[in-house]
Amino acid sequence: MVGIFAAVVAAVLYARALLSGPVVKAVKPLDPNAPLLEEMPPVIRGLVNDDDDAVRRKLISKHAPSPTLTGIARHEASEMGKPAGPAYEEQGENLQLITEELSPDSPEVREAVKVLETYRAAPSWQSRRPMIYKATQLEPQMRLFYDERHEVDPEPQDLAGGSLISAGESKVVLLRYRSPSRPDSLLPAYFHRSPAGALLLDWEAWTGFSALTIPAFKKARAVIPATFRVVAMESDYYNYEFIDQARFLAVKLRSPDGLHSLTGYVLRKSQLGIAVGNLIGVRLPNPLPPEVPLPPLRLPGAKQPVTLRVAFPPTAQSDHCVMITEIVADRWMLFPGEGS
């Protein structure tokens, strides 16, 4: 109970500081004429017992192009019963994601396509479990998705391509399908290797699963951040607490099926704001030091599948306008340890 109370107090204080006058702290700019950044208020850092160096390390890791940290790989190695290799022992370094395009007739693509075909042909979600990565662990989420919410799997159309994603010793096969039911018209299917060596479907990324639905989140108006898999794109809606367009960046956050949405807001002059802007193709002034990596700048009008944490401001004036508090990943697939 003490932990929950502390989390609520921290969230409320952060939101009030965010919505009040700017708290600006100088960050050494690349361009001496560049604007300063708005940073997290010191009172929040005190609540979580973070010194300046700790905050800086978190910012650097959080806004990496794909935040696959050493600890994630170490966690996966322990689960697989393998010793941590040299890459896992590098302290404080991000593991770079390397993407390699695969030909349609490559063994990995053929195997993944077969797994997905078998999965989709199964008559019930229970009978799909052998094709799902960590199915036993995900059974409560699947019961919620299928039995309680009565949601359904997406419908892929033609295969647009495939790739192999490597992060240290972690390797994931990605198939990119087209799907008119998705807000970005694309449907990614990720596959992990099981300890036995078989490719298995990442069910959460495939369905775009979130523990809360957007309608339920709107009804609760929770000030504690919740995690959502959404498709993000630029918005021109500025209202209520977030009417100041010069200070905030508005981002439309659509559910995987495109039927529900929120408008998320982030400070333009912040590390998080610059990172979010890059993901949706909005170039913002960037005075960050070179050691702070950022997601690649997408084309204007980009629709980006992302995993984010969002929260309502205290005494929210609307059930539609929320604060973006964190980028968990610039995709729906999470490596072990991400999002925890």
Instruction: Encode pLDDT of 25-77 as tens digits.
Output: 434 444 444 456 665 443 333 233 333 344 334 443 443 334 333 343 444 44
Residues of the chain with CATH 3.10.450: 96-207
For residue 220, CA distances in Å to 5, 9, 149, 324 come to 17, 17, 17, 17
pLDDT band at residue 143 under the 50/70/90 scheme: very high
Q: Mention every residue, 6+ apart, whose C-beta is less than 8 A from residue 57.
A: 92
Is the per-residue pLDDT at 79 higher than 80? Answer: no
Select from 283, 320, 324, 327 the least CA-distant residue to 301.
Answer: 283
Query: Can you tell me the distance from the alpha carbon of 280 to that of 272, in angstroms, rounded to the nearest whole number?
Result: 13
Between 87 and 4, the more confident residue is: 4
Is the per-residue pLDDT at 85 higher than 50? Answer: no
Is the per-residue pLDDT at 94 higher than 60? Answer: no
- Bridging pattern class, strands 321-329 and 261-267: parallel
**φ, ψ for residue 195, nearest 5 deg:** -55, -30
- Please tell me the CATH code under which domain 96-207 is placed: 3.10.450
Task: Look at 13-17, 180-184, 211-215, 272-276 and tell me which has the smallest mean pLDDT.
Answer: 13-17
Lookup: tokens for 136: 């036993």
Residues 265-288: what's their mean pLDDT?
Answer: 92
- Bridging pattern class, strands 159-167 and 186-193: unpaired
| Category of 277 on φ-ψ map: left (φ > 0), alpha (ψ -120 to 50) or beta | alpha
The identity of residue 187, as a single letter, is L
